[in-house]
């Protein structure tokens, strides 16, 4: 294993998309940002320097950060932000993971433009558990607003209404070819007969997406830096924060084929139909030939999302076994997630849309939770997060609960080192049922079950897959349904759990899980680095 050094200069840069320019925050002048390459067991040392007037933090999404929570990145959870002119060195090791992840800013809505891919290659000399591709390509999906993104959410918070949807989706930073703006889209170049490994990363802000390539099928081999059984599909469903690595065989007639992404939004408030396109181009294709097009799934194509997710299984081979905690979990949580409405004197309707977990809308503390925990600072949070909704109701029924007002608080759920945890995330229909891509920091978890309707704690667990469930760090909770995950709490620290739709996070759909130190020599969180930012 080796040590790899990176320098991330966070700067503002004027950038043109959709025929208009605006200054955006980026890393090293690049949008999307630079790729972080490493091998399993390598340590990376990333020096992040803040050259903008905004506060900054960087999160290494999906990196386990074993005992190194100080390097995780979510603002006010594991660190105070890096202020203007300051720097912070993120130092961490890739342990037990290989594949594709992403890094992104983790403060306000900065991640809309501050993001990039992480590629963790196998140890030197260790092959992939699938045929070696001819070439590898990184494909980053995103969203673009013509307005400044912080202005978009600030305006929404002032009015109490949902924020504007993005003006375009992007593939490797580009919305697609537009003769009006004399801009071209991204092109993936291939040669007939060869196979390519596509590392697809979703850095989208508020939308889950479908990804398709006309005339081709894809073989998924890894998601969220965990190998899967090869799974052949013509559509990939990917939520913000998720990654999907798939083999593409260039086995079709020489020509040009459309690559398309489109939003999955099955809620009544969906207003976005935008499709972004890129091109798959075979060597030798005629310069001006037209592209074979592809039909994207309907915006509310829930069956397509279900078929994709049900097709994913852990590889579970002798080299890469699935280690699913079996039996009764030490901690069993039912987390009801969704949106509600709170009073707001200064808002247009006198109310504000909020989001919550078990009716608690999380309030960001002024000091990072991990510091408060480590230094025993009281008054920053309480460790009394409810393990189940305090007032149970018919979560997915049409009738909303009598009270849609959420409580507020900075509450965390505490578990002992190495305990086993089962979390059932239950979607709710308080305002409308909606799909939520839930992300847990500090762990990979197994998705042992999911279903539509209200979770049945007696019968549903009988159908859990404890053999080869897919291993992920972000999982979508189906609209009007639930998802169950399991993991072993073998990583001491303060770990954020939130909906990766940024608007839901802003509204309060977030909480933290505190994993206490173990008693063994390598079971406690390491001391903080000296340059850890102060609030
Ligand atoms: Cu990808 Cu808490 O984030």
Q: What is the pLDDT of residues 453-499, one digit of tens each?
A: 999 999 999 999 999 999 999 999 998 899 999 999 999 999 999 99
Say yes or no: CB of residue 385 within 6 Å of ligand 1.
no
| Secondary structure (3-state) at 181 | coil
Say yes or no: CB of residue 498 within 6 Å of ligand 1.
yes
- For residue 500, the CA-to-ligand 1 centroid distance in Å is 6
Ligand 1 atom at minimal distance to the Cα of residue 102: 1
List of long-range contacts for 11-19, beta carbons under 8 Å, 24+ apart: 11/51, 11/52, 12/51, 12/52, 15/113, 16/181, 16/183, 17/144, 17/146, 17/168, 17/170, 17/174, 17/175, 17/183, 18/144, 18/146, 18/167, 18/168, 18/175, 18/178, 18/181, 19/178, 19/180, 19/181
Question: Which strand (E) or helix (H) includes residue 119?
Answer: strand 115-121
Task: Determine the Cα–Cα distance for residues 10 and 8; give it in Å rounded to an integer.
Answer: 6
Task: Determine the Cα–Cα distance for residues 434 and 265; give it in Å rounded to an integer.
Answer: 8
Cα distance from N-terminal residue to C-terminal residue, the chain: 35
Q: Give the CA-trace dihedral at 178, 205, 98, 27, to 10 degrees.
A: 70
Say yes or no: CB of residue 104 within 6 Å of ligand 1.
yes
Say yes or no: CB of residue 439 within 6 Å of ligand 1.
yes
- Enumerate the domain spans of the chain: 1-126, 130-314, 331-515
Q: Which residue has the tokens 């762990």?
A: 443
Please tell me if the domain spanning 1-126 has the same topology as the one spanning 130-314.
Answer: yes
Instruction: Using alpha carbons, select from 283, 61, 299, 17 the residue that is nearest to residue 172.
Output: 17
pLDDT at 266 over 90: no
ipTM over 0.85: yes
Ligand 1 atom at minimal distance to the Cα of residue 62: 1
The confidence band for 532, taking pLDDT boundaries of 50, 70 and 90, is: very high
pLDDT at 147: 97
If one looks up domain 130-314 in CATH, what number appears? 2.60.40.420
Q: How many CB atoms lie within 10 A of CB 37?
A: 14
Say yes or no: CB of residue 442 within 6 Å of ligand 1.
no
Q: Which of 51-65, 166-180, 505-519 has the lowest mean pLDDT?
A: 166-180
Tens digit of pLDDT for each residue in 47-73? 999 999 999 999 999 999 999 999 999
Judged by phi (left if over 0) then psi (alpha if -120 to 50, else beta), residue 29 lies in: left
Fold of the domain spanning 1-126: Immunoglobulin-like (2.60.40)
Q: What is the pTM of this model?
A: 0.97
Instruction: Using alpha carbons, select from 226, 228, 229, 224 the residue that is nearest to residue 240.
Output: 224
Q: Which residue has the tokens 């073989």?
A: 219
Query: Which alpha helices (DSSP H) does 442-515 contain, by range?
Result: 502-507
- The CATH architecture of the domain made up of 331-515 is Sandwich (2.60)
Ligand 1 atom at minimal distance to the Cα of residue 73: 2
Average pLDDT of 420-434?
92
Average pLDDT, the chain: 95
Say yes or no: CB of residue 508 within 6 Å of ligand 1.
no
- Number of alpha helices (DSSP H) and beta strands (DSSP E) in the chain: 4, 33
pLDDT at 399 over 80: no
Looking at residue 179, the DSSP 8-state letter turns out to be: T
């Amino acid at each position: 294993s080796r040590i790899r050094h990176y320098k991330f200069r966070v700067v503002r840069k004027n950038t043109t998309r959709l025929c208009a320019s605006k200054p955006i925050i980026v890393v090293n002048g690049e949008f999307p940002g630079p790729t972080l390459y490493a091998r399993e067991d390598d340590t990376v040392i990333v020096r992040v320097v803040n050259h903008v007037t905004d506060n900054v933090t960087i999160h290494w999404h999906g990196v386990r950060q074993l005992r190194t929570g100080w390097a995780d990145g979510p603002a006010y959870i594991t660190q105070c932000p890096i202020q203007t002119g300051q720097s912070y060195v993120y130092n961490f090791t890739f342990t037990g993971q290989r594949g594709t992840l992403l890094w992104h800013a983790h403060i306000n809505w900065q991640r809309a433009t501050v993001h990039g891919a992480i590629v963790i290659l196998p140890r030197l000399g260790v092959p992939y558990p699938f045929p070696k591709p001819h070439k590898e390509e990184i494909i980053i999906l995103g969203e673009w607003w013509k307005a400044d993104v912080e202005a978009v959410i600030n305006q929404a918070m002032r009015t109490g209404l949902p924020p504007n949807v993005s003006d375009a989706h992007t593939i490797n930073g580009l919305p697609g070819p537009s003769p009006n703006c004399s801009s071209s889209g991204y092109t993936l170049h291939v040669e007939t007969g060869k196979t390519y490994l596509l590392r697809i990363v979703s850095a989208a802000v508020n939308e889950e997406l479908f990804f398709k390539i006309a005339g081709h099928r894809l073989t998924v081999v890894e998601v969220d830096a965990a190998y899967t059984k090869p799974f052949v599909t013509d559509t990939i469903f990917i939520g913000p924060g998720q990654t999907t690595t798939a083999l593409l065989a260039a086995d079709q007639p020489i020509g040009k084929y459309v690559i398309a992404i489109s939003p999955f939004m099955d809620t009544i408030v969906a207003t976005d139909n935008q499709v972004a396109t890129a091109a798959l181009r075979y060597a030798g294709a005629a310069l001006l030939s037209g592209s074979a097009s592809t039909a994207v799934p309907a915006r509310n194509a829930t069956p397509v999302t279900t078929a994709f997710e049900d097709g994913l299984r852990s590889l579970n081979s002798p080299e890469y076994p699935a280690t699913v905690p079996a039996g009764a979990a030490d901690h069993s949580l039912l987390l009801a997630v969704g949106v509600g409405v709170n009073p707001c004197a200064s808002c247009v309707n006198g109310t504000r849309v909020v989001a919550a977990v078990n009716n608690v809308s999380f309030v960001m503390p002024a000091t990072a939770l991990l510091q408060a925990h480590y230094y025993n600072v009281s008054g920053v949070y309480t460790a009394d997060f409810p393990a189940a909704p305090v007032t149970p109701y018919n979560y997915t029924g049409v009738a909303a609960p009598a009270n849609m007002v959420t409580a507020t608080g900075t509450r965390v759920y505490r578990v002992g080192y190495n305990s086993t945890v089962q979390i059932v995330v239950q979607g709710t229909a308080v305002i409308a049922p909606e799909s939520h891509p839930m992300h847990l920091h500090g762990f990979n978890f197994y998705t042992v079950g999911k279903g539509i309707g209200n979770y049945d704690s007696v019968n549903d667990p009988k159908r859990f897959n404890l053999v080869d469930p897919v291993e992920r760090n972000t999982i979508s909770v189906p609209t009007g349904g639930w998802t169950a995950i399991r993991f072993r709490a073998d990583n001491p620290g303060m770990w954020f759990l939130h909906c990766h739709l940024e608007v839901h996070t802003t509204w309060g759909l977030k909480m933290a899980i505190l994993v206490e130190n173990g008693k063994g020599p390598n079971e406690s969180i390491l001391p903080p680095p000296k340059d850890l930012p102060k609030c």
